[in-house]
Structure formats: C-alpha cells, structure tokens
Amino acid sequence: MEVGFLGLGIMGKAISVNLLKNGFKVTVWNRTLSKCDELVAHGATVGETPAEVVKKCKITIGMLADPPAALSVVFDKSGVLEQICPGKGYIDMSTVDPETSTKISQAITSKGGHFLEAPVSGSKQPAETGQLVILSAGEKALYDEAIPALNVIGKKAFFLGQVGNGAKMKLIVNMIMGCMMNTFSEGLVLAEKSGLDPRTLLDALELGAIANPMFKGKGPAMLQSTYTPAFPLKHQQKDLRLALALGDENAVSMPIAAAANEAFKKARSLGLGDHDFSAVYEAVKNPK
Ligand SMILES: NC(=O)C1=CN([C@@H]2O[C@H](COP(=O)(O)OP(=O)(O)OC[C@H]3O[C@@H](n4cnc5c(N)ncnc54)[C@H](OP(=O)(O)O)[C@@H]3O)[C@@H](O)[C@H]2O)C=CC1
Ligand SMILES: O=CCCC(=O)O
C-alpha cells in the first residue's frame, strides 16, 4: 500500500518511519523540505508539494502543528485540494478544533475526495512503536480502506461517527491530560516546599489508585529539570485553548482547565513552548 505523509515533526516522522518499517511505501512532504532527508534514508520518496504527494498516492495522511497549519496544507497553492479527486482520501491526524476539521472535510468532499479526521493519543514513543490510540471520524469507507495503515500506526482505532467527533474527543482527552500535568506539578512543588522528598511522592503515587504512565514516565525527568520534547508544551496549550472554546460553545464551566491553561500560557511566556509539556512544572515552581 502506498501512503502519502504531510508533516514530519515529532509525530509525523515517527509514524512515517514506522509505516516504512512495516512495508508501506511512503511519499513524504514537509514545509521545511530538508527534514525529508532522514525519511529518504529509511526508504521514503519525497514530494515537492502536498499536491504532488496527493497526485501520487491514493491515501494521504497529514500530521500538522495546529489549525492554521492544517488549513494551509490543504487550501494554499499546491495544497491537498489541488489534486484531491474521486478515489483519493485525505486523513488528518493533526489535533485541531471541530470547525477546522469540518472546513477541511467539506472542501475535500466537494471535490469528490474522501475525508477522515484521525487525531491520536500517545506521544513520540507510541508513534515509533505503533501503539497510538486513533480517534477517527468522518467517512467510514475511508476508515475501512485505511485499516491496514491504521493497524500499524495504532493499537486501537475508534470510529466515532461524523466529522468533528474525533477532534472533540481528542481535545477532551488532552484537556484532562493538561489539568493532570498541572496538578502533578503543584503536588511536586508542595512536597518539596513542605519538606518532603518529591521522589518519595512519585513512589507513593505509583503504588496507589492514581498511578498512571504519565506520572511514572515524566516525573523523574521533571525532578531533574529535563524537558526533552515528546509533546511540545505549545501544543498542549493550544489543545487547552481549543478545549476551552469547545466548553464555551457548549456552556460547560471548566475552571480547572482554565487555570491549567493559564499555567501553560505562563510557561510559554517563559520561553518553554518548544520544551516537553511537563516543563509547566517550571512555571508552577516560579509563578511570578
Ligand atoms: N508530540 C506529541 O506527543 C503529539 C502531538 N499531537 C499533535 O500532532 C500534531 C503534530 O505534533 P508534533 O509532531 O509534536 O509537532 P511538531 O511541532 O514537532 O511538528 C509540527 C509539524 O507541522 C508543520 N507545520 C507547522 N506550521 C506549518 C505551516 N504553517 N504549514 C505547513 N506545515 C506546518 C511543521 O513543519 P516544519 O518542520 O517546517 O516546521 C512540522 O512538520 C499537533 O497537532 C499535535 O498537537 C498529537 C499527539 C501526540
Ligand atoms: O496530544 C498529545 C498527547 C500526548 C500523549 O497522549 O502522551
């Protein structure tokens, strides 16, 4: 199966390499084209533009930073829309709001193409090992056609119905994750300031009812102020912002998410946007 791939950031690169390792032919494009070189070393071919990739491949996947990036790759000159046509599918795995996804879906389907939104849970390492959780919605026929690729990319693919449902589910999951990371950071600071060893807090958490892979995976590095990006902090703040907008739209009061968003904004203002999202700990440590 030949697959196109647009966007070779942390996630796009890991997913593309995994597809290549599993025998897929992959044609890649990235805005900064030089990032394609590493994929070529793994056996990929390169398209000069998103349109060129779509022209070559029956199914093209996008994994872009945010709503403006996702829209740009589809609607700009030499974008996806120029070559999408009946028989071709576009799967957007970027984390965006339902409105962005719907706009892309309408444009693709109005040209006879097929569209699936498929944002993912799980970070760099699950992307490398095909252990993502895929939250897809849109055209069921494209979902069915893409199953061989989705099965390589993830350990579970949900199909959630109409376009927008995948985006909503992803934003809700990440809203919870951002709140948890913020609370976790507050707990670590409180342990330290009140005279406890935060490493003992990690051990106690690990053995109790709120043990989870995030605390276990990120905690020790946070205590060493190491924030090598797996999930960039600027994207976590984007997801909280988009989840809060979804809350506004549905009149859902989310004071905890709003407070978490403030902490992530603070962290961004400290220049931590490109660090891992666990760097919110630094903003919690130094709230002024
Ligand atoms: N990292 C993670 O753990 C996870 C991330 N996500 C989501 O996946 C998406 C990608 O994340 P991630 O790989 O971490 O992000 P990165 O920041 O590592 O990569 C972003 C990608 O988007 C491209 N891009 C940015 N702006 C534009 C633009 N205007 N036009 C075209 N391309 C653009 C970048 O191109 P260039 O190289 O030229 O800058 C790059 O390929 C995001 O929506 C994120 O929220 C979802 C699950 C987990
Ligand atoms: O959107 C990013 C999610 C990261 C994760 O699920 O670990």
Q: Which two tokens stand for residue 161?
A: 């119905």
Question: Residue 42 has what pLDDT?
Answer: 97
Residue 184: name the closest of 287, 100, 281 by CA: 281
Whether ligand 1 lies within 6 angstroms of the CB of 219 is answered as no
Residue 93: name the closest of 117, 72, 112 by CA: 117
Ligand lying closest to the C-alpha of residue 174: 2
Whether ligand 1 lies within 6 angstroms of the CB of 235 is answered as yes
Ligand 1 centre distance from Cα of residue 197 (Å): 36
Ligand 2 centre distance from Cα of residue 26 (Å): 24
Whether ligand 2 lies within 6 angstroms of the CB of 278 is answered as no
Question: Residue 287 has what pLDDT?
Answer: 82
Given phi > 0 = left and psi -120 to 50 = alpha, else beta, which region is 3?
Answer: beta
Question: Residue 288 has what pLDDT?
Answer: 77
What values do phi and psi take at 10, rounded to 5? -55, -50
Whether ligand 2 lies within 6 angstroms of the CB of 18 is answered as no
- Tens-of-pLDDT digits for all 288 residues of the chain? 899 999 999 999 999 999 999 999 999 999 999 999 999 999 999 999 999 999 999 999 999 999 999 999 999 999 999 999 999 999 999 999 999 999 999 999 999 999 999 999 999 999 999 999 999 999 999 999 999 999 999 999 999 999 999 999 999 999 999 999 999 999 999 999 999 999 999 999 999 999 999 999 999 999 999 999 999 999 999 999 999 999 999 999 999 999 999 999 999 999 999 999 999 999 999 887
Q: How far apart are CA 118 and CA 55, in angstroms?
A: 21
Question: Residue 284 has what pLDDT?
Answer: 97
Other CB atoms within a 10 A radius of the CB of residue 146 amount to: 25
Residue 152: name the closest of 134, 167, 175, 170 by CA: 134
pTM of the entire predicted model: 0.98
The answer to whether 170 is a known catalytic residue is yes
Question: Residue 200 has what pLDDT?
Answer: 98
Q: Which of 170, 218, 238, 266 is catalytic?
A: 170
ipTM above 0.90, yes or no: yes
